[in-house]
């Protein structure tokens, strides 16, 4: 069993050969059962984990156009933010700034 540290996520198991894939079940942390005889070695039971990245924050009405979030300039809600893959330009995520704080956040 693999215990994923706080702040990390598990990768998808069994995506390639056993020598290079993750074997931990993301729901339980358990690997497949393996039976070894004395002296035998199995170096294929692995666990892939990663720390998610986030991008985001604030969309505001830059009334003086200086590129600075001045105290008198308010946020804008309802702005669509699209995250694309830099190489393929494929859309990865879409979100809209909220009424509450005019912010967005995407977890990668
Ligand atoms: Ca495997
Ligand atoms: Ca493996
Ligand atoms: Ca400004």
Q: What digits encode the pLDDT tens for the residues 80-92?
A: 999 999 999 999 9
pLDDT value of position 54: 87
**Which two three-digit tokens encode residue 98?**
């909220």
Same domain assignment for residues 66 and 102: yes
C-alpha of residue 35 to centroid of ligand 2, in Å: 15
What is the reported pTM? 0.63
Same domain assignment for residues 79 and 47: no
Same domain assignment for residues 43 and 19: yes
Residue 64 structural domain = 54-107
Measured from the Cβ of residue 2, the count of other Cβ atoms closer than 10 Å reads 19
Same domain assignment for residues 41 and 63: no
Number of domains forming the structure of the chain: 2
- What mean pLDDT is predicted for residues 55-77? 92
C-alpha of residue 23 to centroid of ligand 2, in Å: 5
C-alpha of residue 1 to centroid of ligand 3, in Å: 52
Same domain assignment for residues 29 and 65: no
The helix or strand, by DSSP H or E, that contains position 105, with its residue range, turns out to be strand 103-107
How many Å apart are CA 108 and CA 99, to the nearest integer? 23
Same domain assignment for residues 5 and 39: yes
C-alpha of residue 99 to centroid of ligand 1, in Å: 45
C-alpha of residue 107 to centroid of ligand 3, in Å: 27
Counting ligands in written order, the one closest to the CA of 44 is 2
């Amino acid at each position: 069993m693999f215990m994923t540290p706080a702040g990390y996520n598990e990768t998808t198991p069994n995506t390639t050969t056993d020598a290079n894939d993750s074997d931990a079940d993301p729901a339980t942390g358990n690997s497949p059962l393996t039976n070894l005889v004395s002296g035998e070695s199995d170096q294929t039971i692995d666990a892939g984990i990663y720390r998610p990245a986030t991008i985001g924050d604030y969309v505001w009405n830059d009334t003086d156009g200086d590129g600075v979030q001045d105290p008198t300039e308010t946020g804008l809600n309802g702005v669509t933010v699209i995250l694309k893959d830099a190489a393929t330009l494929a859309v990865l995520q879409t979100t809209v700034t909220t009424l509450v704080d005019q912010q967005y956040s995407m977890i990668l």
